[in-house]
Amino acid sequence: MLQYSPDFLLDLYARMVRIRHFEESVKFMFLEGALPGTIHQCQGQEATAVGVCSVLRNDDFITSTFRGHGHALAKGLTVEELLCELFGASTGCCKGKGGSMHVGNMAKGMVPGIAIVGGGIPVAAGMALAFKMQKTDRVAVSFFGDGAVAEGAFHEGVNMAAIWNLPAVFVCENNLYGASTHISQVMRDTNIARRVAGGYGIRTEQLDGNDVVAVHEAARAAVEECRAGSGPVFLELLTYRLTGHSRRDPGHYQPKEERAAWSEKDPIPRFAQVLRDRGIADDSVLEAIAQRIASEFDEAVEVARNAPQPTVEDLLTDVFV
């Protein structure tokens, strides 16, 4: 930890707080009826997105899922372009045509979210192949859940990346559930990292996905290997969603004790404690970060609320017809 500057660590913290604040605030907007459709949120999983994206450059690419708000904020999309997208405004990151499940911004290295479980994995392998053929050192990172591991697309993407040594990092956010189904009901060996290592012959690592610094370090090693031509790498990040699968899911299948135990491992208070213990920040510093993020969010709401909606003429632009 000593090798990191306080600014870097505080930035990791602020990025996680930004995601949490975004998700919690958006939750209330949804309850108020201000947002269309449902939303899939990532409270409790902030450290995976922030830790991994902290080692990426703007020209590295990520793919994400239906649960993409955190990945987007971590990859550098602004609160404003995301909020506008959630409001369906034409100033949103996908011009209001994607919505919550498809946030992304190609200029910032994020393919709009792919809601088909496992769908981003072959896309990342394809991008990694392009990066390799173009002889760049760019890296493609795919975020997906434990549920994706049983998809055919997972096998095709990971296998292809493996046989061609592609610069791809596969990041499995294992939060124990695919919707309401516990991993033990859909896999015999629930150690995904072990299975992937054995099955595809690539380097894999399983680690605490709620420890943002540990995730940063594992991701840095993985990305360095990829840039050096010895990818791909598979990371299994053990984490937990402290909210329903979607806003319409109360999450009754998560046993109370299990949820309580994982609340204790909530990555944000946990990292705040580390920062305090190391004398990097006291409560007033952390408070100032929270305030800054809250007002940044409030300003973005104001913009999103008054942003123009797409017009009928926009119906046929940016789509295949």
Partner 1 sequence: MRFELKMPDLATTDSEIRIGRWMVEPGEKVHRGQPLLEVETDKAAMEVESVVSGVLVEIVSQVDDAVSVGDVIAVFEVADTAKSSPMTRSAPEAAPSASDRSAAGTSPPPVESTPRVAEGAKGGMFARKRGAASPAGYDEGVRLTVAERTASKRLQESKQTIPHFYLQTRFKASAILARREATASVKLTWDAFFVRAVARAMGRFDRFRRRLEGDRLVPLATLAVGVAIDHAGELFVIPVVEPADKSVEEISAEIRANVERLRGGDADARMIRPAAMTISNLGVCNVECFLPIINPPETAILGIGKVAPCVVVREDGQLGVEPCGTLALSVDHRVAGGRYAAEFLDAIVRELESA
Q: Return residues touching ligand TPP (CB under 6 A).
A: 66-67, 115-117, 145-148, 175, 177-179, 245
CA distance 111 to 89: 19
Question: How many CB atoms lie under 10 A from the CB of residue 288?
Answer: 12
Instruction: Give which of ligand TPP, partner 1, Mg ion, none residue 245 binds (C-beta under 5 to 8 Å, depending on kind).
Output: ligand TPP
Smallest distance, ligand TPP to C-beta of residue 245, A: 6
Angle separating helix axes 6-32 and 79-86, nearest 10 degrees: 20
* Binding map of Mg ion across residues 159-198, x = CB under 5 A, - = no contact: ----------------x--x--------------------
User: Position of tokens 């420890």?
Assistant: 211
- Tell me whether residue 61 or residue 297 sits nearer to partner 1 (CB atom): 297
Question: How many CB atoms lie under 10 A from the CB of residue 89?
Answer: 21
- Tell me whether residue 109 or residue 178 sits nearer to ligand TPP (CB atom): 178
* Residue count, binding to Mg ion (CB under 5 A): 4
- Tell me whether residue 86 or residue 176 sits nearer to partner 1 (CB atom): 86
- Whether the Cβ atoms of residue 43 and residue 318 lie closer than 8 Å to each other: no
140 backbone dihedrals φ, ψ, rounded to 5° = -110, 130
Smallest distance, Mg ion to C-beta of residue 36, A: 24
Q: Which residues contact 198 (CB under 8 A, 6 or more apart)?
A: none
DSSP-assigned letter for residue 245: S
- Tell me whether residue 15 or residue 245 sits nearer to ligand TPP (CB atom): 245
CA distance 177 to 191: 14
CA distance 109 to 77: 9
Smallest distance, partner 1 to C-beta of residue 76, A: 21
Binders of Mg ion in range 26-55 (CB under 5 A)? none
The residue ranges that bind partner 1 (CB under 8 A) are 16-17, 20-21, 24-38, 43, 247-250, 252, 266, 268-269, 272, 283, 286-287, 290-291, 294-295, 297-298, 301-302, 305, 309
DSSP-assigned letter for residue 167: S
Smallest distance, ligand TPP to C-beta of residue 66, A: 6
- Tell me whether residue 306 or residue 317 sits nearer to partner 1 (CB atom): 306
Name beta bridge partners: 308. Answer: none
- Tell me whether residue 115 or residue 286 sits nearer to partner 1 (CB atom): 286
Question: How far is Cα of residue 133 from the mean position of the Cα atoms in its chain?
Answer: 27
Binding site for Mg ion (CB under 5 A): 145-146, 175, 178
